[in-house]
Amino acid sequence: MQLTSAIKEINPEAVGETAPSAQSEAKPVIEIDHLHKVYKTGDVEVHALRGVSLTIRQGEFVAIMGTSGSGKSTMMNIIGCLDRPTRGKYILDGHDVSAYSKDERADIRNHKIGFVFQGFNLLSRTSALENVELPMLYANVPTEERHKRAYEALTAVGLAGREHNHPNQLSGGQQQRVAIARSLVNQPTIILADEPTGNLDTRTSIEVMEIFQRLNREKGITIVLVTHEQDIAEYTGRVVVFRDGKIRRDYKIDEPRDAGEELKQLPPPSDDDDEEE
């Protein structure tokens, strides 16, 4: 794909701070201050993150990029409360979660964070509706409310009428839509998407990015997306590049690619295309 978005580089001295934008007055959702993460393997210490500082404000759509070993996956695990830093501070939606216990982090994840993964992570023997309802079971949401929210989320991602299909009856793109619907049902503060288009073809990737853009623009959901694909990052509003455990670039995209408009320019999918997804 051709890269068409105009990119404005932030002053290098401001790396780790939010790009100047319409979100500059919005409240911070993610505040990371001089964060370090060290893993120990026997006598060997691996410094995955080296004093990272980063602020992401409400309503931003941010891509995190970097090569293998750059620290981006470690950063996402900490942002998602799947891990905690060795030292430094992490404030999520006003809560200092840096030293939270495993159970406390699980509670934060269930109420404030929606996850979307490259491999979909759907339960194969349950319907789309039941997969979407799963996070609400852990949150003790009543049955009637679970059904209501799950139907609404599936409708929002274009899967009305597919509620009772199992994953093996859905294309890869449809499975990812189920995963996105699942991420929405507990009304999270942020959505974390880890390589959400990594297993998808070009058209389906654009369809998934259209959903993310719509959720971000219409509902104001903060989205942080890990990707190694520059063209996918071009659909977001800001790119943070990691290398060797540090942020090396942090820049705003002035004119993000519009997935909805690009889909209008593509020929309609054929039945053969649907079978190949």
Q: Are 193 and 247 in contact (CB under 8 A)?
A: no
46 occurs within a structural domain = no
203-262 confidence digits (pLDDT tens): 999 999 999 999 999 999 999 999 999 999 999 999 999 999 999 999 999 999 999 999
Which residue is it, tokens 């079978």?
275
The alpha carbon of 268 is separated from its chain's Cα centroid by a whole number of angstroms, namely 27
Total of domains in the chain: 1
Q: Decide if 31 contacts 88 (C-beta within 8 A).
A: no
For residue 254, CA distances in Å to 9, 210, 264 come to 10, 18, 22
CA dihedral 82, 227, 216, 274 (to 10 degrees): -110
The answer as to whether 49 is a domain residue is: no
**45 in a structural domain:** no
CA atoms within 13 A on the CB side of 46: 9
Range of the domain at 69: 58-81+101-276
Low-confidence ranges of the chain (pLDDT < 50): 1-21, 274-277
CATH number at residue 182: 3.40.50.300
Task: Indicate whether 14 belongs to any domain.
Answer: no
How far apart CA 78 and CA 105 sit, in angstroms, is 10
Contact 183, 195 (CB under 8 A): no
Residue 220 lies in a domain: yes
Length of the chain: 277
Is residue 140 in a domain?
yes
Residue 6 lies inside a defined structural domain of this protein? no
Asked, for residue 206, whether it belongs to a domain, the answer is yes
List Cβ neighbours of 25 (8 Å cut-off, separation of 6 or more). Answer: none
Residue 19, pLDDT score: 43
Residues 94 and 82: their CA atoms lie apart, in Å, by 18
Residue 130 CA, distance from chain mean position: 22
pTM score, two decimals? 0.85
Q: What is the pLDDT of residue 7?
A: 36
The predicted pLDDT at position 89 comes to 95
